[in-house]
A and B are shown apart, each in its own frame.
Chain A
Amino acid sequence: MASWGEASQSRLIGKRIARLSGKDKVTGKAKYTFDINRPEMLYGRILRSEVAHANVTDLDLTRAEALPGVKAVIPLTEVGRKLRYQGQEIAAVAAETDDIAKDALRLIYVELEELPFVVTEADAMAEGAPQIRDDWKGNQSNPGINEDGDVDAAFSEAAVTVEATYHTPVQTHVCLETHGHVVEWTDENNLTVWASTQAVFGVRNDLARRFELPANQVRVITEHMGGGFGSKFNAGVEGLAAVRLSRMTERPVKLMLTRKAEHLVAGNRPSMTQHVKAGATRDGRLIAYDMRGYGTGGISSGAGFNAPYVYHVPNRRTERFNVAVNAGNQRAMRAPGHPQGAFAMDSLMDELAEKLGMNPLEFRRINDSSEVRQAQYTLGAQEIGWHRRNNVPGSGTGVKKRGMGVGSGLWGGGGGRGTQARVTINADGTVEAVTGTQDIGTGIRTVIAIIVAEELGLAPTDISVKVGDSGPGLPSGGSGGSQTTASVAPVIKTAAAAAKQKLFEHVAPLLQAPVDDLRIGTGKIYVASDRTKTVTWKQATGQLGQESISEGGNWDQELRQGGVAGTQFAEVEVDTQTGHVKVLKIVAVQDCGLAINRLTTESQINGGVIMGLGQALLEERIMDPQTGRMLNANLEDYKVPGTFEIPEIKSIVFDTHRKVTGVGEPPCIPTLGAIANAVHNAIGVRIRELPITPDKILTALAEKKA
């Protein structure tokens, strides 16, 4: 049975190893799609709707076409069509310079008949609201209703009940590198695309289908990628426009989204509103749960969330629906549905525990069936110093009050089939590992090098890893669902093992030993039964002569496993005069199976915590009911955490087994509830609506006082 071996036997796997591309990234040598420039390249730009809802009544591109330096203008809508949100595409241009392209956009004549719009959930659900989707009745989807157990009976047995409404606003992805492509037709039938994507092969197949090309005539390259978080799986309107512009002009075209467009149209995490009632027994068993909830994914649906979440409730009824508004579509965003669900559930758990007069951690222990999380609660509580929390919320003295909270999460991350890889050993001793996955910043390049190096007795820097290129024709899936490592690692491992086996066959005659008596040492091959018989790596590969060894692998399911548990503890300090919340420390205990690279696993956890912190304290898409516009489609008023917001983060890689599991998404889940509960513990008032900004704190404190 295949295995990753014992920890004590591992030279590299499970250790802390700096990412191979780190130096290139820090020095700017790493080239992102944004950095790619091709000879004769044109610059693409997209004209977008500035109104939330309108009919297109006239569209005239001629003035833009006539501007010197403009090489092509294409419509992306047509007369008679509807524009249904700010940012929707109207036309695209390609020009000699980016400045000319910008000027050209302003010369496009578009006449609109403006229509009534709704941009908030409340307005969309109000009586008499304008209908904004043709396929729905009103602006609400048909509800999905689920019921288990006997909810009404359970409520009558409950000793305490809590009824509350929780809300999380729309959050945008804020990819540091905006969406976009550099497109080049190398000849009439061959297309090369540098894409900022999470799915090199996904984009290849997308483009091949839409432009009716054989898939192997489309090459997609993503050497480095500046963040996707679930929003970058397809070529998108902007990618297709770039390919069309490039084909028309027979010139390469670069088309990257502006920061404003990135907020408006490149996806977002849907909002969530939950009206919940829950009940527990005197001895702390959560027995009844009734939830009616909704969210908006903009003009599209898909605003799902997990409710109830993590904790077991035997009797539960849930009703959920989508609300349509005139705003850009949601897309998958880091653990879709989970952070929203976790915030509501963990807040609810604390409210119930308070009513029961029970320590919220004890209340969780009673209702959490995960043995892993039970162990994590113990470890996390110890790390944060849970005994220091206020037994009575808000009982601290002074202007700045401290408090602690806890939150939980779960995820899958077991990977899937569909990755092909090749590990090549050359006669000069060089080793190459190639697969069509992509390193979206999570460190899979380094993970691959570690696995191959471990197998072959080399250093990670000895391995030349080629990812992010569909050219070699070795497909891999998109990097989503925390699936990359668990999908790729088993294939790399078995490919490296196969290559090693082939090398043993070449070396066995030299060492005068049977193949199965050979072993890899550090930089050498030796005979297990007679350790004096050894050859260096170079001597061994020298046996290959004019040949190379090149082996594929297979997705051995024994090497991976899905399902992780996590818990986080937060300590905060709330300035009761300014309403400012400072997070002092987060302890993140994250189960993730075998951490192939402990250092980048910790980085993943750090990143998740920071993203969760942003959602808890700062981030919100602000839509203006008056103008139908997003008022903060920038990074001034759409606030993401900066250096001053980052607390001490204790990322604990919680080892549970030695099979590979993805961990990209889960660490962003428990942070919201942990922080919200810590704020309540600090000041004794509960903020049920994220983000927890100073205005909400000050208002809540004033209400408490009154």
Chain B
Amino acid sequence: MDKFSYVNATSLKQVTSLLSDSGWGEVMMIAGGTDLLSELKEYIETPKTLINLKTLPGMDSITADASGLKIGALATVADIAMHPTIQHHYTVLAQAAASVATPQIRNVGTLGGNLCQRPRCWYYRDETVNCLKKGGDICYAIDGLSKYHAIFGGDPVYIVHPSDIAPALIALNASLRIAGPEGEKTLKVEEFFTLPAANPFRENVLEPNEIVVEVQVPQPKPDTKSFYLKAREKGAPDFALASVAGVFEMMGKTCQAANVVLGGVAPAPWRSAEAETALTGKMINEAVSMNAGAEAVKDAEPMNDNAYKVTLAQNLISRTAMMAVS
């Protein structure tokens, strides 16, 4: 990696003012560093300054009450995975966090970092390949090897978003609090992520001088069942070939409301309104769950090597729906 100066953060104000001096890449934030360090070592990023967020006070707390959950952006993935209330009432989130990487990485990786991590695409991660995401002319996955790439929303960059936690948060209708030089704002996690058609270079709407501060999750209704299913080639550590976060408000075997969000299949977490519609108001059985899976993938656009993801996403949705009634 190249040389950089290292600044310990003292306040959000100081962080956003340090950030605002430049565009992307000159000044970067580091928390757990599990993603950023590998980008630095591979010269994918070459910042002049790193701001260490770990010194920000109080930003790693998790609080839960009847209204919901508040998780500081510096809470570790392990904290989330092992939090008893999250395990009990926000199961999909605990399961998603527990599926991330390895214990070592979960112990240092943070919520904010997990949401803002960069793609794993093997062209993007190769310094010598100047792909579209890095300002080049083409997405190499289009004519190249696309086994791990997108089947939805790719154009013009066919990466998949690697976060496990993001689909779970979207399925739970979570919001996040963002601080910038002008103060704070709150937006839905779903609105945080963007597709490459809107911005091929970034995966979310964060401005160069903004920082994710906290995630807020409303408490699910009492009869809610939620699950995170992650298909991967290797038990751990491995990123998702496809994953699904399913949150179902149940009355007996009938699904009152469904939130279904796929991971690993699109450049952003991919909410499947089709699957949600196919499940809502229905008695869940094999036929209904299969139909929900089929509906979810009917507009999929597989590439050369990833048609299997269509089947996989479909099957994961059916499986998670069936779990709500088993």
A residues with a Cβ closer than 8 A to B are 50, 103, 577-580, 618, 622, 624-627, 629, 631-632, 636-637, 639, 641-645, 693-696, 698-699, 702
**Given contacts A577-B316, A631-B126, is CB(A626)–CB(B143) below 8 Å?**
yes
**Given contacts A578-B316, A694-B231, is CB(A629)–CB(B308) below 8 Å?**
no
Q: Would you give the shortest CB distance from A672 to chain B, in whole angstroms?
A: 17
Most buried by B among A578, A636, A639, A696: A578
Closest residue of A by beta carbon distance from B140: A626
Which B residues from 5 to 53 make CB contacts under 8 A with A? none
Main secondary structure of the interface of A (DSSP, over half): loop
In contact, B308 and A699 (Cβ under 8 angstroms):
yes
Q: Top 10 closest A-B pairs, CB basis?
A: A644-B235, A577-B315, A695-B308, A631-B122, A698-B308, A578-B231, A626-B144, A50-B128, A639-B234, A698-B311
In contact, A624 and B308 (Cβ under 8 angstroms):
no
Tell me if B233 counts as interface (CB < 8 A to partner A): yes
Having A627-B140, A694-B231, A698-B311, one finds 16 other A-B pairs with CB under 8 Å, namely: A577-B316, A579-B312, A580-B231, A627-B129, A627-B144, A629-B129, A631-B123, A631-B126, A631-B145, A637-B122, A642-B234, A643-B235, A696-B308, A698-B312, A699-B307, A699-B308
Which B residues from 292 to 326 make CB contacts under 8 A with A? 305-309, 311-312, 315-316, 318-319
Which B residues from 140 to 159 make CB contacts under 8 A with A? 140, 143-145, 147-148
Tell me if B241 counts as interface (CB < 8 A to partner A): yes
Main secondary structure of the interface of B (DSSP, over half): loop
Pick the residue among B148, B235, B312 that contacts A645 (CB under 8 A). Answer: B235
B residues with a Cβ closer than 8 A to A are 2, 120, 122-123, 126, 128-129, 140, 143-145, 147-148, 231, 233-238, 241, 305-309, 311-312, 315-316, 318-319
Q: Would you give the shortest CB distance from B148 to chain A, in whole angstroms?
A: 8
The complex places the Cα of A644 from the Cα of B238 at a distance, in Å, of 11
Contacts of A632 in B (CB 8 A): 122
Q: Would you give the shortest CB distance from A701 to chain B, in whole angstroms?
A: 8
Contacts of B147 in A (CB 8 A): 695
Q: Would you give the shortest CB distance from B155 to chain A, in whole angstroms?
A: 19
The complex places the Cα of A644 from the Cα of B147 at a distance, in Å, of 22
Contacts of A694 in B (CB 8 A): 231, 233, 241, 308, 312
Contacts of B235 in A (CB 8 A): 642-645
Contacts of A618 in B (CB 8 A): 233-234
Q: Would you give the shortest CB distance from A108 to chain B, in whole angstroms?
A: 15
Q: Would you give the shortest CB distance from B97 to chain A, in whole angstroms?
A: 18
Closest residue of A by beta carbon distance from B126: A629
Contacts of B144 in A (CB 8 A): 624-627
Contacts of B233 in A (CB 8 A): 580, 618, 639, 693-694
Closest residue of A by beta carbon distance from B131: A627
Q: Would you give the shortest CB distance from A56 to chain B, in whole angstroms?
A: 17
Contacts of A695 in B (CB 8 A): 147, 241, 305-306, 308-309
The complex places the Cα of A627 from the Cα of B121 at a distance, in Å, of 14
The complex places the Cα of A191 from the Cα of B311 at a distance, in Å, of 61
In the assembled complex, 23 residue pairs joining A and B whose CB atoms fall closer than 8 Å, in A order, are A103-B2, A577-B316, A578-B312, A579-B308, A618-B234, A625-B144, A626-B140, A631-B145, A639-B233, A641-B234, A642-B235, A642-B236, A642-B237, A643-B235, A644-B235, A693-B233, A694-B233, A694-B241, A695-B147, A695-B306, A695-B308, A696-B308, A699-B308
Contacts of B148 in A (CB 8 A): 637
Q: Would you give the shortest CB distance from A669 to chain B, in whole angstroms?
A: 23
Most buried by A among B123, B235, B307: B235
In contact, A578 and B315 (Cβ under 8 angstroms):
yes
The complex places the Cα of A694 from the Cα of B128 at a distance, in Å, of 30
Contacts of A641 in B (CB 8 A): 234
**Given contacts A577-B315, A698-B312, is CB(A645)–CB(B234) below 8 Å?**
yes
Contacts of B238 in A (CB 8 A): 639
**Given contacts A644-B236, A698-B311, is CB(A629)–CB(B128) below 8 Å?**
yes
Contacts of B234 in A (CB 8 A): 618, 639, 641-642, 644-645
Closest residue of A by beta carbon distance from B129: A627
Contacts of A624 in B (CB 8 A): 140, 144-145
The complex places the Cα of A577 from the Cα of B234 at a distance, in Å, of 16
The complex places the Cα of A645 from the Cα of B235 at a distance, in Å, of 7
The complex places the Cα of A631 from the Cα of B236 at a distance, in Å, of 20
The complex places the Cα of A642 from the Cα of B235 at a distance, in Å, of 7
Contacts of A580 in B (CB 8 A): 231, 233
Contacts of B122 in A (CB 8 A): 622, 631-632, 637
Q: Would you give the shortest CB distance from B232 to chain A, in whole angstroms?
A: 8
